[in-house]
Every structure is written in structure tokens, then in C-alpha cells.
Amino acid sequence: MASDILKVDTSFAANFAPSSLTLHDLEAVRLILQGQSVVDWHKLNLSTVEEVDAHLRLQHLDPDDPADVERLRFLFNQAINYLEEHHDIRFPKELRDPKDVRDVFIAASTWTGRFRRTQSLACMLLKIMHTINHMDASDLKHRLAISEAELFDRAERVIIQYADRMRAEGFPLLAFYGSRKTRTSVISKLLTKRDTLAATIFDKLRFRVVVGQQDEVLPVLAHLTHTLFPFNYVIPEASHNNLLVMRRLIREDPHYARLAPRMQRLAARTAEPTGANPFSGQSYRMINFIVDFPVRVDDVVAKMSPETHLMLGSVVYVMVEFQVIDKATAEANEEGENAHHIYKNRQRRIVESRLLRGSTPTSSPRQSKTS
């Protein structure tokens, strides 16, 4: 809400200029804005071991921890076995048995604009590793003697510490705050859905980030993927963006325009992203997306069998919603048809109609400018 926005007089450009964004940043932001899946990518843009290490640390894998290095090697071996046994793919020696698994990330980023078998095979391996890691984390989560509420608490503490650090470093965040859905809000939301499983509520824990100017939004999104969460765990098809038109941003900013020709071409989406809120007014503008946020649970895994860390890791994921918006848009979103009490009234009418008549009233379609 507008009342949550703090007055800060400082220059964002001095702290994180758009010109500092890399090709990797631009690709990661596009993934967020368009609700894409990293499994559809055919290249990576991590060209140094230091960049790979930073990416692994965002996954909560420490490249200096022997146990985490062993876990990474286990994931790699699983990926090799899967592709060789089930898809009859053969790998060159440098990929089949690399001295350091981090070399696979660099091989997946070696790109000259032409098809290269080694690069393509390295991408395949990373996609399978990504999938297996997520599958193992889900298995681990179901075995843990720890509540979902505690996992949310752990994620929330990490994100709040991150927000405090950003403020301390001089980032002109007008707001960065979190909230939890109440029990009654979850009930109402479930009643408005055709699929009434509790697992479909993605935004039990959510954070809103407000910046001063709209041209600061894209650099902030890039910064989040650098320092808070791994871009590859943004949930596909669960993003909503009617705030930024990325094609226009690329066309109008000289730095983005220089990077754009090197961005990979991806197939058109076969479905519209599902992150839009049907109860918001037609003029409501927002970027929101869901992240499977990594949470380390070493203390709990330590009480399990010694093989658990190797087989399933020490990281589980909880879904966290992020909303990113600029100050002027945030204030406009609290006016007229977008006011919170009107939003709640629309939702209440939907719930009452479904409970009384077994159907939901037809609402006017949202107007959307997707990236």
C-alpha cells in the first residue's frame, strides 16, 4: 500500500546502474517476466569459475565444502547415467569424466553463435542435474521431521536479512517487506479456484519490493537473481507482468540493445502465464512471480542416515512470491477500482456465488501488456 512506502532521497543509478547488467542478467530477467522454464534454454552465460561458484552458492551448494562437492558430483553422475541409459547419448571424454563438475557449467556457456555438440550436451547435463536436484529435494522435504511453518520461518529470516543488507549498502529501496496469508485468506482463495488443493496456494509467504522509478525495476530483478535466489528456480508459467514491456526496454536502452542480438531464441509459450490475479482491477499494474526458495536443513539431515546428504542433499524448497513495482505505480494501484476494499469485495462475490449457486460470475477480462 502507499502508506508502506518510505521516503528516501538517493540515486539508484549510483548503486546499481542498468549499464552493469550482463547478458546473463538480461536472460534471467526475461525468464522471470515471461514465466519461462530454464529447461527450455539451450545455453548458459557463466564464463568463469567465480561466476559458477556464485551461482552454486545461490543454490546453497558450497564449492568449498567437500560434502557439497560430493553431492554435486553425485548429481552429475546421475545425469550422465540417465542420458546414456535412457536416451543412448554418448559424451566426449571431457564431459564424461571432468576433473571438476564446474567445468560443465562453463562448457554449457561456450557459445559462438553456431551449434556445438559439446556445448549442447553440457546444457543437457545441467538440465537433468537441475531436475534431479529438485526431485531429491522434494523427497527430502517429505522425510523431514520439520513443519512447513518452520521452513517458511527460515526462508523469511534469510530474505529479511537480505533486505536489511541492501538498505545498509545504500540501495534506495522505498520498501521491502513481507507478509503471510491468514487462514481466512487461504480459505477464500481456495474457494475461488477450480482446483481446491492447498498445494496450489503459492503466495503463503510473499515479499513486495518498491523502487523509486520504473527504470530501476529491471536492474533490481537482476540483482535479486545475483544475490538472493537462483534464477533457475523461478516457477515456470507462474509469473505475471503487465508493468514492463521488455522488447521496448531493449529497444530504448543502448546497453540492452547491444546485448539483445546475443540472447538465445526461445520457442513461443504454448500457454499464458497463470500469475495474474483475477480480482484486481483492469488498470492494476504489477510484476509478481513465484520462486522455489532454497532452505538449508543441515541440522535436521544430520539426524538422518549418513547417506542422506549424498543421495538427497541438505536443501529443500518453499514457494515464495515476490512482487516488484515502482513508487508511482504502487500509489496508482491503491486508487479507484484497484483499492484493496474493492478487490476484497470482488473476491467475496465470487466466493458467495460459488457457495450458493455452484458457479462463479463472469468477470471482465484483465487488460495485460506482457513482455
Q: How do residues 23-49 score in pLDDT, each as one tens digit?
A: 999 999 999 999 999 999 999 999 899
Pair 18, 255: CB distance under 8 Å: yes
DSSP code at position 115: -
Q: What is the pLDDT of residue 195?
A: 56
- The more confident residue out of 20 and 161 is 161
Q: What is the mean pLDDT of residues 247-258?
A: 91
| Positive or negative: CA dihedral 320, 321, 325, 331 | negative
Nearest to 337 by CA among 273, 289, 274, 285: 285
Which amino acid is residue 241, in one-letter code? Answer: N
Q: Are 113 and 124 in contact (CB under 8 A)?
A: no
**Residue 318 to residues 130, 182, 198, 236, Cα–Cα distance (Å):** 16, 17, 14, 15
Please answer whether residues 184 and 211 qualify as being in contact, where contact means their C-beta atoms are separated by less than 8 angstroms.
no
Tell which wins on pLDDT, 17 or 209: 209
CA 190 to chain centre: 23
Give CA–CA dist 10/19, Å, rounded.
Answer: 18
For all residues of the chain together, what is the average pLDDT?
82
Phi-psi region of 242 (alpha: psi -120 to 50; beta: other; left: phi over 0): alpha
Q: Specify the 3-state DSSP secondary structure of 365.
A: coil
363 within some domain = no
324 part of a folded domain: yes
The answer as to whether 362 is a domain residue is no
- Specify if 295 maps to a domain: yes
The Cα 344–Cα 188 span in angstroms is 10
Angle between helices 183-191 and 340-357 (to 10 degrees): 60
Return phi, psi of residue 39, to 5°: -65, -20
pLDDT for the residue numbered 18: 67
State residue 187's pLDDT score: 66
pLDDT band of 5, cuts 50, 70, 90:
very low
pLDDT tens, position by position, 192-227 = 666 545 445 455 789 999 999 898 899 999 999 989
Tens digits of per-residue pLDDT, 49-72? 999 999 999 999 999 999 999 999
Tens of pLDDT, residue by residue over 307-359, are 888 999 999 999 999 999 999 999 888 876 556 556 666 667 766 676 776 66
Evaluate whether 24 touches 108 at the Cβ level (below 8 Å).
Answer: no
Q: Residue 104: is its pLDDT beyond 80? A: yes
Establish if 192 belongs to a structural domain.
yes
CATH label of the domain that carries residue 176: 3.30.460.10
Look up the domain containing 214 and give its range: 2-8+17-357
Q: How many domains does the chain have?
A: 1
Pairwise CA distance, residues 201 & 184, whole Å: 13
What are the cell numbers at 143? 522425510
- Answer with the residue of higher pLDDT: 246 or 187: 246
365 in any annotated domain: no
125-178 tens-digit pLDDT? 999 999 999 999 999 999 998 998 899 999 999 999 999 988 888 777 889 988
Residue 155 located in a structural domain: yes
Structural domain contains residue 367: no
